[in-house]
Structure 1
């Protein structure tokens, strides 16, 4: 019995040893079973051990197979469009352009001749769709005959039309200047009001005309968004707006209010003399290094100089070469030719 017991004990020990010997192979097969749970945990972003799973582990299919890894597509790099800049950079560039233009046109001013707010108001209305030079040739005869709002309010329309004929659209302009004169007499005692909300109520007077009068007759800052101003601020990428009121707001936000009136003069003067609509004189432009549209016009300096225009104090369309057009013999900024 003892021998049988011993034999049984030995057999039991041998069985345990055999089981122990088989255990490692059983453990090797285990990963196939664990992979399913591992995949579930991996979907949550971690492995069974708690570490983060790799993209390859996340790609394991439901049946345990690993798909063939495809070539990664070319990485797309976001490229900033030309001229895109931060708000701070835009403000700095815009203000530097204005400073540069202030040195080139230190005498910039309204190119309409006037002696009082009424004359400036009427002249500005007449300047639509024509040149300031043409208006300046017309207004002496108009104001010589109708010097006050009271006089123009009761004028014979046919006589006024004949005077204004050289300005173009003379019938519509006659209605406007007679109408605004009547409104000044009836609503403002014959005086030009100094408030924007009052000025824009007058016949033929919009925000552009109102700001010309406010800035140059009353010293109240305003931005004059005429065709030159609209063209240049978009060319310089100060704004992409096309509506005059939105342009006014966008550009006004780049400058202190005290700069608005002079800024308008600088931009308009530059648009008339150098930065033309169809063929800007890029090669003769003093702010070329700051202009994102450089190259739209003539870049050859000698050819560009021939494109320059100069109105005030000279013949219409007279072409002069900078810096001689803007500096005196001592190299200092000179007033326009013919100016007092």
Structure 2
């Protein structure tokens, strides 16, 4: 089935354009029926073609309805100054415009999904754009309050109860209702987007030893356990985080819900640094992203690995296909 996939350029001074062109080069060789639509300044696209010595057939389009298969369809943003390896006001503005353009297209239902390249929060700030990350921009533009940051891979699927907040604020941000909402989003995502009929979810504790029944904190007793009582036997916990991963218990579940960012991202990235992906669950549109940053330190050197972007594309196809089955 023919589908249309959007790709944002991310921060043009990072590795986003490079890994995008490397991925396009591989996809076009496969002769799939999908349409690939890249939202990027023309000067940036041409610069990276020369840098990588990749000659991609492309055409500039003004509307997604003009897109074709077996070429790159370029929605050309205004030319933007390149300063490879450094976040700038210009790169922040361009990354934001690329993302917003993709969201408008998806909300109009003229494309199936967007695969976003990494952005720099510092560059966003230089451009006067104040969001913790792309996830929050997507949620705001979609008017979605109930959303979740997920990380997907063949080895483990993970989800976060809280996202980009200081560790000192995690405890007060948690509540019985928040955890219940996150579990519900996770259950629906596993069923609708990943096609798992009867998903099993593990929920991690917040404190060392999962609180030891209140001896090392009350969050498990007062917030997590009461939330779990609303669900059946397929939602289990709270598990002691270190023992949970040391004993590979994640293999017994379809997804793991963690309480804060690094609690899950450290083990996830140790397992999947080049092939794990970021997925924003709970949105009416589909967005996936590679699970790494802008990598300014290697930008412009032609050595960036595109495998995580490839994985993000593959998951976008899986999720869009599963949603299409439900909508038919």
Q: TM-score, normalised by structure 1?
A: 0.26
Q: Which has the higher helix share?
A: 1
TM-score by length of structure 2 reads 0.27
Which of the pair has more CA radius of gyration? 1
Relative to its length, the structure with more strand (as a share) is 2
